[in-house]
A = this chain, B = another copy of it.
């Protein structure tokens, strides 16, 4: 497979190379998928969509790639309570910006919301600082998520 240099901007390739990791067709395919298909994709979703561009890609590679991207901070992995991890671009050129999630426990619909995000982030920052000081933790991430029933599922 031909690798289109610069297709995703230099940010991603640079970031990958910066960690001594290689640019490969499989990684490009996953990158493509994450930027063109919607958000909150399961590994299976990513596998299927990436297979279209790069038919030989294996599911294990998709998992490894998503894990790598998550470790590099390019992707965020989220748990919505149904035993399947979901992935989306983290903040960055392809991302929507920082948001939190509202999840329907019946149909699994996921709403990205940014309402209140300012207050939430302020409180999170303040809390992180306080907890960090009091309990001696080096805090790396947080989860803030709401669960309920969407309009369709509620009636």
Contacts and interface: CB of A to CB of B under 8 A. Distances in A.
**Copies of this chain in its oligomeric complex:** 2
A139 interface: yes
Given A81-B79, A116-B127, A137 B142 contact: no
A85 to B, nearest CB: 10
Interface in A85-131: 102, 104-105, 111, 113, 115-116, 119-120, 123, 126-128, 130-131
A84 to B, nearest CB: 12
Given A104-B137, A111-B137, A115-B134, 9 more contacts: A102-B135, A102-B139, A113-B131, A113-B134, A115-B130, A119-B127, A138-B148, A138-B149, A141-B147
15 contacts: A79-B81, A102-B139, A111-B135, A115-B127, A115-B130, A116-B123, A116-B131, A120-B127, A135-B150, A136-B154, A137-B146, A137-B151, A138-B154, A142-B146, A143-B145
A148 B137 contact: yes
Interface residues of A, number: 37
Given A79-B79, A79-B81, A123-B119, A147 B138 contact: no
Interface string A49-66: 000000000000000000
A135 B105 CA distance: 14
B116 A137 contact: no
B142 A149 contact: no
A36 interface: no
